[in-house]
Structure 1
Amino acid sequence: MPNMTVIATTAVPDHVRGAISRWMTETMPGLYVGTLSRRVRDELWQAVSGTVGAGAAVMLCPEANEQGYALQTVGERRRAPVDFDGLTLVAMNPVEIDNESVKTP
């Protein structure tokens, strides 16, 4: 049964954006929404996660759990999903500061 799926991308190659837009509508740059079957969604996510390069992507899709959705990510991001007793929470990774580039008065 098809379900609503959302994919958000950041700094991915153009061919990845093209592959996603074949199945989903790009409502704003890097944000895709569509109604996909599980098989199409899984194949599309496999293609995205294998070719994301230096960019990043997040996918939200329905799941039979307490929250009603699953969150999958690929690539380097400041926010990372963390499983907390069956609930997916988002943890913020601290920004690394290059001490050599910081000048003190």
Structure 2
Amino acid sequence: MFKGLGQMGDMAKMMKAAKEMQERMANLQEEMKAMTVTGEAGGGLVTAVCTLKGELTSLDIDPSIFSGDDKEVVEDLILAGIKEAQAKAQDAAQKEMQKLTEEMGLPADMKLPF
């Protein structure tokens, strides 16, 4: 279609590739809102679930940890569970973005924005 146009044809190919990448990025962003990871603390006494975008979607606390004397321990376990889930979410999101860059033929170390 662009034969004989020289650099104009190359520019058209680049624009098409950029548009395709933008569409795939948008799709991945939407998919990451639905993908989840789970973080645990205290041997499973506290379980937190986050989306790959880092949004906390659920928190499960084993009732056995509720005691008036252990308030600080419970708070620490809850915080630890949430932090673990968020760290896993960030790691999984980076892996998804890396897969996308590889599929697009981009350099493996290229950082795409979230």
State the TM-score, normalized to the length of structure 1. 0.24
Answer 1 or 2: which has greater helix percent: 2
- Higher strand proportion: 1
Larger Rg: 2
